[in-house]
Structure 1
């Protein structure tokens, strides 16, 4: 795991990124003066982690003062879009795009671990995490536990040990470091979620997926610090197509024709998947390569077919029809990766999969109340969750309470869209804290409350999240004459809330419910 300054400069030159090399006051494009004997002992984007021989990538809102005293730490070179020779005597590799450079250099430093793995990337507005877990379960079953995972919930580098993740898609340097660890652990596969931001800020630059999956698309992540428009959001997600060797596509995905055109232009073969609720509609069932078709009236089983051939019947531990669509996607991904999906253990591998904070159901022993903890956080996912409640419990005329907030400083449209998705289908809103950078929780909650136009729905603002959940439970118990469904969304099983750029410890939605229902 090493790279020399000369080889780093040559790599950046090949990719059209190097503007000049600055060394001892000399500006040049010739890397030969650096010598191939000057090895970088480490690579980092954190000045606090610079040690003797380190290569530093100055990304983001990097300030010159971060380099004060850096020569005493042994910095070998820095990669930046700005000349910092006034701050350090280290070699400067000045580039057009430091994030692209960081991704390429990280891959090389860690010995291109992606070449030792079958790498699968999954994007879409909803379902990425569940599909990733299903896919990992299949690939683990097919490879005797040799599938790593990068997800918005957990990272797994050895096929069985899960550690909470910080980002949906890690920074490129972290991603390649973890890929190296996974490869060294004997992993054969890597399944990773790929966010729109991953392409927006070049976290996966230079990475080609053996299989890329595009599940679905709907407006989300539109804000001044994310995507200015839906077109930009979709365009960023579409980049996975030309950066994949094979593509799995949701047959009913919005803008599927455009995505197919992307694939045709890049000569990427496409496999499709679909969910079909009407088993008698054979024409619809043939409109995708891999299809999940409802096989039971209570939605507890689906027949899975691949190119018209029956694979068997699947009964998931995760509830919700949309999770069978995710299972169909996982099967299509595994098949594209070379797995024999006719093997009975493939379907069996997905059946026990559960994901903390995703469609977790809890029953209150003191009242006729079900609480569902889920990560739903936008119009599409809230609509899907309410569709699930209607399909499963509609005959019981449930009184539905939605405990929700919305992220601060980004995705501003979600605030109105969550209200619009729910207000004509529920009895009560409780608006509460969710992650934010600088916006006060109460301001977001009051804004969301202001979007309610249905006079029949009640609403409350309780900024403390634990108190909000407890209030929902007490309120349900006060309405014992009704069957109550509590939907607690947006945080899943996360054990922190981001407040003013700090992670504040939080009990977790699931733990609050478990404590109250004990």
Structure 2
């Protein structure tokens, strides 16, 4: 295409050729020297092809004027610039002699006031104004653009129209899908995409229009038939500076573009009047308007709306009549998006049947309250909510329909609007049962600093901060926790969820990456949620079903004072300043931080393995007084190994467990009976775990050794322990009851078992009945 044709509508300050002595001011002089054939347009110097035209535009991080020489070296015939281009050097630097020899072609330079605006104008001209041949629906607003775009696309498809979409997630048409790095492409890319769509048979295009695109002239000379306004709330203040500037930019789509384009006589604006700025905008529209909202003064409004975790249903009134609909989309805010999409359908004069079908055919939008499937009984959603208003809308909608607790995993982006961080924290603290604060896309900011900003607002509405260890077995109090690693934060949120709970993973939605520093790494909230759900499902039959697994490093520590108080023992030797993470009777698998209790069993005597335990690195041991004289105490004393002597180590183990049960402060259900103990215990534990962090006996851990070993695993996170009590002789249940101090005692049945120890069924009844005397005051017997 001839340069003169490309520049036909451009206001030119001057045109000249580098190296020429004459300069033409004020317009384009058409002759063979100054009017070359232009084969391609470029705004990235590295993409320039021989015979192309390069437009030097100032960017956010780099200025195209600094790369004019590169464009010239790659064969550019012409340059559009808003700065003077000298004949022997670029705008910013002199050319070396070597470089000067490489640059042989003279350039035609077109100076303009605004090279970005010019790029949009010449791009439209170069591709012969494809938007004139297409029906363009442009959507702008802080939130809801993508959802509304998907809804309109579905409506157009239901009407049998060949549709293309250009938006945040991708651009797509006729079954083809392409990555889109920004919501609204640069003007050259946008015009090229529109041209391709039009040539391949697309008739209607749904275009998400960002505020950046309006401010940077990306949609200049893109002629829009229908403009849709979703809402305006705080976002992008890092770019616009303040809300007034942001609002001024957004409304330009309706006050400047729609009424001045080549489609101005037929342009229509669809305005969501539920938003305050929407009401303001509707009053000043210079084109025909269609209002949407809940109140009776709107042209499109809902009636008898019901919404839940399964979707939205109701009736909508329009200028063309009313209709019932059911949508799988979740959330109150999606009612506004549905109304906006209906408004676009009405503006395009589509039938109500097609509009209804389009709404009902759309099952989900990637990363927009997208349900992540799982069979754990909890509801997990991934959403793009990254602004205060979006987070408030999503959490508010979920809170209104959720069955139980809401857990929210969220963060805020780095190098972006800092003012919204505490606002989002305040919202999460107010609307969640547990807020898990993590990283989003920190970019070049310190993730911990971003989290600090969030917590400034979070602490205004939620003053209880959990530590990660304290959540090992769930939570029962409204609060928040910090986990900077997003992958771990997602897993934590899902692990902590119970049947009926809702988990919202907010901020990144459809994004398949995370920006850390200057690197972009592969990361998907959706995939991480799926992995966490699968992992949780695999653990449902484990003793800690539904709970995060306990870790020994997070058990309640044992001091020497605790140990002596529990057992009544005396120190024989060793360092009295030791602390221990737990209790063990197994010298083979003991941790060096645990206290070893030497138990004398029917076959083996733990005292015989004391030295093995010492070789494992332990620092403390409890022994029978009668066995102490046979142990290498002198050697242990030299190694500062603590040795405590008691009358009976088996009884001491039970005493330690009783002491621990009291300080862990969990409630205990103790189950005994001639038959059915294990089945009843397992079923009871399953029920308890649906609501509480619950510890349960393993296998046949139901005697004077197994019961204490179970109770010694209690930590502060546990709310219930379900234990099994077995017996062979009278008095054994009584002892086990002393150890576990049950709040609830269950006797399954009395039968002819263990008669050799108790003599008769009446003896079994009396032995099992010992449990009733051990139930705590105010407890329950079943």
* TM norm. shorter chain > 0.5: yes
CA deviations 1:112-169 (Å, max 9, x no partner) are 0001101111111211111111111111222x3411101111211x233232321111
1:138 to 155, 159, 169: 155
RMSD: 2.1
Which runs of structure 2 are paired with 1:316-465 in the superposition (5 Å)? 316-340=327-351, 342=352, 344-353=353-362, 354-362=364-372, 364-366=374-376, 368-393=377-402, 396=403, 398-451=404-457, 452-453=459-460, 454-456=462-464, 457-465=478-486
Q: Distance in 1 between matches of 2:433 and 2:394?
A: 15
Runs of 4+ in 1 over 6 A off after TM superposition: none
Which runs of structure 2 are paired with 1:138-217 in the superposition (5 Å)? 138-142=155-159, 144-156=160-172, 158-217=173-232
Q: Is the 8 A contact 1:218 1:254 kept in 2?
A: no
Instruction: Give the number of the structure with larger relative contact order, counting CA–CA contacts within 8 Å between residues 6 or more apart.
Output: 1
The reply to whether residue 32 of structure 1 matches residue 29 of structure 2 is yes
Q: Distance in 2 between matches of 1:321 and 1:210?
A: 28
The reply to whether residue 269 of structure 1 matches residue 323 of structure 2 is no
CA deviations 1:456-482 (Å, max 9, x no partner) are 453333232212111222233xxx5x7
Q: Distance in 2 between matches of 1:179 and 1:363?
A: 36
Aligned to 1:279: none
Aligned to 1:288: 298
Cα 1:51–1:372 shift into 2, 3 Å: same
The reply to whether residue 71 of structure 1 matches residue 45 of structure 2 is no
Q: Is the 8 A contact 2:435 2:481 kept in 1?
A: yes
Q: Is the 8 A contact 2:46 2:71 kept in 1?
A: no
The reply to whether residue 93 of structure 1 matches residue 110 of structure 2 is yes
Q: Is the 8 A contact 1:9 1:93 kept in 2?
A: no
Q: Distance in 2 between matches of 1:64 and 1:79?
A: 9
Q: Distance in 1 between matches of 2:442 and 2:161?
A: 37
Aligned to 2:282: 260
Q: Is the 8 A contact 1:403 1:468 kept in 2?
A: yes
CA deviations 1:201-251 (Å, max 9, x no partner) are 11112333111111211222212xx11110111110001113222111112
Cα 1:436–1:291 shift into 2, 3 Å: same
Q: Distance in 2 between matches of 1:153 and 1:70?
A: 31
Deviation (angstroms), 1:308: 7.3
Q: Tell which deviates more after alignment, 37-46 or 25-34.
A: 25-34
1:237 to 233, 237, 250: 250
Q: Is the 8 A contact 1:221 1:411 kept in 2?
A: yes
Cα 1:489–1:59 shift into 2, 3 Å: same
Larger Rg: 2
Cα 1:32–1:252 shift into 2, 3 Å: same
CA deviations 1:384-443 (Å, max 9, x no partner) are 1122112212xx4x2222111111111222211111212122222222222244213232
CA deviations 1:350-402 (Å, max 9, x no partner) are 21312111112236534x42211111111111111122112212xx4x22221
Deviation (angstroms), 1:91: 1.1
Deviation (angstroms), 1:486: 1.4
Aligned to 1:108: 125
Cα 1:149–1:297 shift into 2, 3 Å: closer
The reply to whether residue 42 of structure 1 matches residue 40 of structure 2 is yes
Aligned to 1:280: none
Aligned to 1:474: 495
Aligned to 1:281: none
Q: Distance in 1 between matches of 2:496 and 2:307?
A: 32
Q: Is the 8 A contact 1:439 1:500 kept in 2?
A: yes
Cα 1:501–1:117 shift into 2, 3 Å: farther
1:306 to 318, 325, 339: 318
Cα 1:10–1:321 shift into 2, 3 Å: same
1:20 to 11, 14, 39: 14
Deviation (angstroms), 1:8: 3.4
Q: Distance in 2 between matches of 1:44 and 1:436?
A: 31
Number of corresponding residues: 484
The reply to whether residue 514 of structure 1 matches residue 530 of structure 2 is yes
CA deviations 1:252-303 (Å, max 9, x no partner) are 221345313431xx3x0111112x3xxxxxxx3x311112223447563121
Structure 2 residue runs of 5 or longer lacking an equivalent are 91-102, 259-266, 465-477, 535-782
Q: Tell which deviates more after alignment, 65-74 or 132-141.
A: 65-74
Cα 1:422–1:69 shift into 2, 3 Å: closer
